[in-house]
Amino acid sequence: MQETAFDAVIVGSGVAGGAAAQQLCEAGLRVLVLEAGAPVSDVSCTTPSITALSEQQIQARCYAFGENTHGYFVNDVHDPYSTGSGAPFSWIRAQAVGGKSLLWAGHCYRMGNLEFKAAEEDGVGEAWPLTEQEIASYYDRAERILQVQDTQVQDTQVQDAPETLSAVADAGPEFTAAAAMHLQTAFARQGCKLVPARVSHSHTELRTRSACIHCGGTTEECLRPVSSSDSTLAAAMRTGLLTLWTQATVQNVLTNASGRATGVAGIRRSTGERFEATGRIIFLCASALESTRILLNSASPAFPHGLGNSSGVLGHYLMDHVSGIVLTATYESDKEGGKILQRENSRAGMFYVPRWQNLGKQRDQTFLRGYGYQGFIMRADHELLPCGRTKRASGRNAETSGGTGKTLLVRLAGFGEMLPYYDNFIEIDKEGRRDAAGIPVLRIHCRHRENEIAMARNMASSGLELLHAAGANVQQVQSIPSEPGLAIHESGTCRMGSNPRTSVLNRFNQCHDVPNVFVTDASSFPSIGVQNPVLTIMAMTLRACEYAVRQFFEK
């Protein structure tokens, strides 16, 4: 850590941090990226001991946590937080170069004016200070970086999507789309669409030589979404202008007497040494809650309630998707003349049911906004891995079809929009708790309200109606929503807006109060929509970088 002065300092190496690093380096800036975790090559994922697992009980709730991946997650004992009374929150965190981009499931859907202007429609929260048209070109660029497949489905409501499900058949030549087409027809009679999933799928040139961390495979049947370590960070490194410090946990942003940011300070986790790094531009990309924690820990006489918090809304309006409503059904593939599935260990057919509630003049009287379903079709005697590949199941599932592959399993997983509430918020723990690096930790206050509970109830009942309409045999319904955090899509707490009195950031993710600080992870979201946030995070980061570079060279 000899060199400490840079043009730009980026905190975090995930989707946002990697994209920022590439854009700023390619613009000619000398960039430092700070990552609290270790390089991927140093992450140990050997069989965990009982003691190790006991220290990751929160992280173990994540769908991607397993014997091969546990090393990518934080240690809950070393990195604690607290929650409000009667309001549990599961904060899932990756700590390695690449962040959660190493572990995500790859779904990529654009937000549109339905999401950006939702507050203008129903009066809840604050509208985004941008439009679908303004961000469209950045979505285009983000989709190329993330190698999104089936990019003809771009509109958030997929109104112009071709009536084809060929992409669902991409799991392999043995996988027929007949069942998906049957579901599509049945769902259409119920007033909603079924379209191919839009997913990030790393092509051969971006794949590392190592096997998939989930299934151990190296073939195209393993989805393996693009990670920042293999794409944007690698591109930034090739410029010769990127410096990467690992095991470097940032505690706060440094400011001068005039209130302008001058750099960041933190702790080198491996040695306990304190470091400082200066930069003319600071990008916080550490994840929604972590970036906000840094700002809250950056309180000073000029900003007694957190850096850039003259509005008083920093930390507030925390959101996560309403999730955990999952319906599982079986369907006989040969009823519609479909080909019997013989192939073992192929990729599941993936589809998406976009939001259809509260559109146009149609209004549900029980809840605002809406939800969509991520869907899968696979052999009933198989189980789904986080990478989208399937493997033969043991026990009851393996006996469902007698091993012949005639029976398909259909699964719908709902993701709904949590409304932005001021009193869903985070703060620095008032009891003075600190993490293993000595940094003050968060206290998280977040719970579902009547709108989310009503939405979850409708999510379960509508899913039943759709599956019954398709003639599927419903096997299981998880009708209780997961506690907030388990969708792993936490957003808000540092929202963007046109009015500095009600927001922290402007329309370019630039801090109203401290103009050389940018925050481009999902903490900047004024509302969460129903879509996976990754594509929007990257698009907004690209847009913010373009703006920051322009300002950098103008001064």
Quick: pLDDT tens for 117-158: 999 999 999 999 999 999 999 999 999 999 998 644 444 444
- Mean of pLDDT values over 381-396: 77
368: pLDDT strictly greater than 90:
yes
Indicate whether 371 belongs to any domain: yes
Comparing 176-180, 333-337, 523-527, the range with the smallest average pLDDT is 333-337
Residue 185 placed within a domain: yes
**DSSP per-residue string spanning 295-345:** HHTT--SSSTTSTT-TTS-TTB--B--B---EEEEEEEGGGGTPPPP--SS
Q: Give 333 or 106, the one with higher predicted confidence.
A: 106
For residue 457, count other CB atoms closer than 10 A to its CB: 16
pLDDT value of residue 224:
84
377 domain-assigned: yes
**Residue 300: per-residue pLDDT:** 93
Tell whether 118 is covered by a domain: no
Determine the pLDDT at residue 53: 82
Map residue 532 onto helix, strand or coil. Answer: coil
Confidence of residue 163 (pLDDT cuts 50, 70, 90): very low
* 366 Cα distance to chain centroid: 28
Asked whether residue 400 is domain-assigned, the answer is yes
State percent of the chain over pLDDT 70: 87
Q: Provide the pLDDT confidence category of residue 42 given band limits of 50, 70 and 90.
A: confident
The two structure tokens encoding residue 326: 């999952």
Domain ranges, residue 99: 5-80+90-106+226-317+490-554
- What is the reported pTM? 0.93
**Dihedral sign, CA of 520, 522, 525, 531?**
positive
373 and 471 belong to one structural domain? yes
DSSP string, 214-232: TT---STTS-----TTTTH
> Per the domain annotation, does 421 fall within a domain?
no
Q: Are 400 and 543 in a shared domain?
A: no
Mean predicted confidence (pLDDT) in 383-412 = 70
Write the pLDDT tens digit of every residue in 79-102.
999 998 889 999 999 999 999 999
pLDDT reading at 342 higher than 50? no
Write down the mean pLDDT value for the chain. Answer: 88
Structure tokens at 554: 């103008």
Are residues 172 and 245 part of one domain?
A: no
In a domain, 462, yes or no: yes
Looking at the structure, tell me whether residues 296 and 359 fall in a common domain.
no
Q: Where are the beta strands (DSSP E) in 347-406?
A: 349-353, 371-379, 382-384, 390-392
- Mean pLDDT computed over 385-394: 78
Which CATH number characterizes residue 249's domain?
3.50.50.60
| Amino acid identity at 158 | V
Q: With 50 as the cut, is the pLDDT of residue 169 above it?
A: no
The answer to whether 233 and 98 are in contact (CB under 8 A) is yes
Check residue 308 and give its pLDDT.
Answer: 97
Lowest mean pLDDT among 36-40, 45-49, 291-295, 442-446: 45-49
Rg (CA), the chain: 23
* CA dihedral of 296, 298, 299, 302, whole degrees rounded to 10: -130
In a domain, 135, yes or no: no
pLDDT of residue 160 exceeding 50: no
The tens digit of pLDDT for each residue in 282-324 reads 999 999 999 999 999 999 999 999 999 999 999 999 999 999 9
Angle at 117 between CA 90 and CA 164, to 5 degrees: 80
Number of domains the chain contains: 2
What is d(CA 22, CA 545) in angstroms, rounded to the nearest whole number? 10
The answer, yes or no, to whether residue 187 has pLDDT greater than 80, is: yes
Q: Give the pLDDT score at 151.
A: 46
pLDDT of residue 407 exceeding 80: yes
334 and 456 within one domain: yes
pLDDT at 205: 54
Is the model's pLDDT at 403 over the cut of 80?
A: no
Q: How far apart are CA 72 and CA 14, in angstroms?
A: 12
For the segment 39-63, the average pLDDT, to the nearest whole number, is: 86
